[in-house]
Amino acid sequence: MYSDEYDSANSNQLQVSLLSFEEIKKGKIESALKRVRASEEKTEGIYRGWMLKPNQYKQLYDGLLSKNIELTNNPIQYKFCHYLPESYDLIKEYTPKTTFKSLKGEFNISEFENEINAFGNKPIVIKDYVKSQKHYWKEACYIPDASNTEQVNSVISKFIELQDVDFNEGLVFREFIKLEELTNHSASGMPLTKEFRVFVRNNKVMATYKYWDEGDYQDVEPVLERFENVMSKIDSKFFTMDIAKKKDGEWIIVELGDGQVAGLPDNANKDEFYKKLRRNAGV
C-alpha cells in the first residue's frame, strides 16, 4: 500500500527505512525496527503507515529515539489529533456538537443516556474515539432518530461488532449535519459529501486534497481562512484537518488526524507531497 510513497520519499532524497507494522502491533518493538539504521546525530523522523494506538505509537517513538530519530510528534501530540475527545474542546466552534464516553466491557445503553439524550430526536452519527464504520452507513454509522432506542441499540451493536479488536476507547456521538452532497460511494453506497483533507505541517497548510476520488466537486474549493486561527492552536507538527461544506454554505471541521497516519487520496500527487514534506521539514 505504501510502496508509491516509499519511492516518492526516496526520489526526493529523504532517508527512508522500512519497519514492521505487524511487529509493532505485537509489541515487539526491537524486531519491528531492526531494519532502521540508527542516526549519528539526532534527526527528525516522520512515520508513514497505518494508524497506531497511542501506546503503540509511544513504543515506536521511544524505539526510534534510542536510534537517535525523534518522530515529529511526541506521543501526547499524536494522541491529541488521533482521539477526537482530546481536541474537541479546541475545535468545538467549528465542528458538529459531540458527546463521548469511554466504554469498558459490554455496551449497555443505560450507561450512555446522557450522551445520547443530548441530541433529543435529532439524527446523529457514531464512531469510536478514532474511526467510524462509514462504509456501513445505515447499519453501523447513521442513526436517524437519537431518541429511538431500538435504532440506537442496533446501530451501536453493529458498530462495535465491526470494530472488533480495533475498537478505540469509547463511543462518540455527533449531531448529523446536512453537508453538500457529492454522490454515493460506488462500492459501499455511503453518501459522499464535498469533503477536503488539509495537511498542516509546522502550523502551515502544506497540501489540500479532495477527500473522495469519485463524484464531481464542481467548482467547490475549500475555504481555509475560517480555520487559520484554530489551526495555529493545535499542538502538532504534522496533522490533517478534514473539512466539509454545509448545505447552507458554511465550512466545518469533520475531524483531525495525525499527519503520519492519514491516508493520501488517490488523486494526491505523491511526488509533490514528499517534495512539500521535504521543504517544510526544513531539510
Ligand X SMILES: Nc1ncnc2c1ncn2[C@@H]1O[C@H](COP(=O)(O)OP(=O)(O)O)[C@@H](O)[C@H]1O
Q: Which residue of the chain is nearest ligand X when measured via CB?
A: 132
| CB closer to ligand X, 29 vs 179 | 179
Least Å distance, CB 25 to ligand X, is 19
Least Å distance, CB 245 to ligand X, is 11
- H helices then E strands: how many in the chain? 11, 12
| CB closer to ligand X, 22 vs 181 | 181
Site size with ligand X, rule: CB under 6 A:
16
**Backbone phi, then psi, for 173, in 5-degree steps?**
-120, 135
- Which residue in 253, 254, 262, 268 binds ligand X (CB under 6 A)? 254
| CB closer to ligand X, 137 vs 273 | 137
Q: Is 243 in the site for ligand X (CB under 6 A)?
A: no
Give ∠ CA 191-252-143 in degrees, rounded to 5.
Answer: 45
- Which residue in 243, 255, 260, 262 binds ligand X (CB under 6 A)? 255
Cell of 262: 492519514
**Backbone phi, then psi, for 69, in 5-degree steps?**
-110, 120
Cell of 110: 443505560
- How many Cβ atoms are within 10 Å of 140's Cβ, its own excluded? 23
- Which residue in 79, 82, 127, 210 binds ligand X (CB under 6 A)? 127
Least Å distance, CB 163 to ligand X, is 10
Binders in 81-110 for ligand X, by CB under 6 A: 96
How far is residue 149 CA from its own chain's centroid?
29
Least Å distance, CB 51 to ligand X, is 10
Question: How far is residue 208's CA from residue 116's CA, in Å, rounded to a whole number?
Answer: 34
128: helix, strand or coil? strand
127: helix, strand or coil? strand
Least Å distance, CB 179 to ligand X, is 5
| CB closer to ligand X, 169 vs 255 | 255
Question: How far is residue 151's CA from residue 164's CA, in Å, rounded to a whole number?
Answer: 20
> Taken in order 200, 206, 210, 212, is the CA torsion positive or negative?
negative
User: What single letter denotes the amino acid at residue 203?
Assistant: N
Residues 134-173: x/- map of binding to ligand X (CB under 6 A)?
A: x---------------------------------------
**Residues in touch with ligand X (CB under 6 A):** 96, 125, 127, 131-132, 134, 174-177, 179, 193, 195, 242, 254-255
